[in-house]
Amino acid sequence: MKSQKELLDWVIPQMKKKGVAYKKFKPVFARKASEGEAIATITNDGVETTNQAGKGDYIVKNQTDAEEKYILTKKKFKDRYVYAKRSKNGFSEYLPKGKIVGLELTPAILKELDLPSHFHFEASWGEPMIAKENDFLVCPPDFSEVYRIARKEFFETYEIDS
């Protein structure tokens, strides 16, 4: 399993050459997390990763078929979303404002990077994260971290930033 630093060193040059700029178009639901709250991110194709909330973190729930949840620090959350309206079950709706650079894990890219059709790497919060053929490895425009977005959920929430 590659560490986050190894992944950054290894994937970022590829993203800079071949990555595409995307923007999130679908609003999310979010709420403040309880410190220590654990979340398993479950996409349409299974468990992606797990994470535990720290003080001030947010639980984000995507408006996708899988309704996958994930944790963001307060800073990342404020950088990526803006309040829209109150919702239900303790969540509020937020509009996305963040952008990403994405690299689709096509068979050709996997071969070029000498990777199998599915593999695990260390997410920026220290837990294993799976990536599979045809998923997307993405990062913020500052290339500060790399994470996976499953293919189905990617197309339910992102579009090319024109």
pTM above 0.75, yes or no: yes
Query: What does the pLDDT look like over 73-106, one tens digit per residue?
Result: 999 999 999 999 998 889 999 999 989 999 999 9
DSSP-derived letter for residue 116 is -
* Cα–chain center distance at 7: 15
Average pLDDT over residues 132-150: 95
Phi, psi torsion values for 127, nearest 5 degrees: -100, 155
Q: What is the DSSP string of 38-82?
A: EEEEEETTEEEEEEE--TT-EEEEESSSS--EEEE-HHHHHHHEE
Q: Hey, what are 32's tokens?
A: 């403040």
1 pLDDT higher than 80: no
The pLDDT confidence band at residue 38, using thresholds 50, 70 and 90, is very high
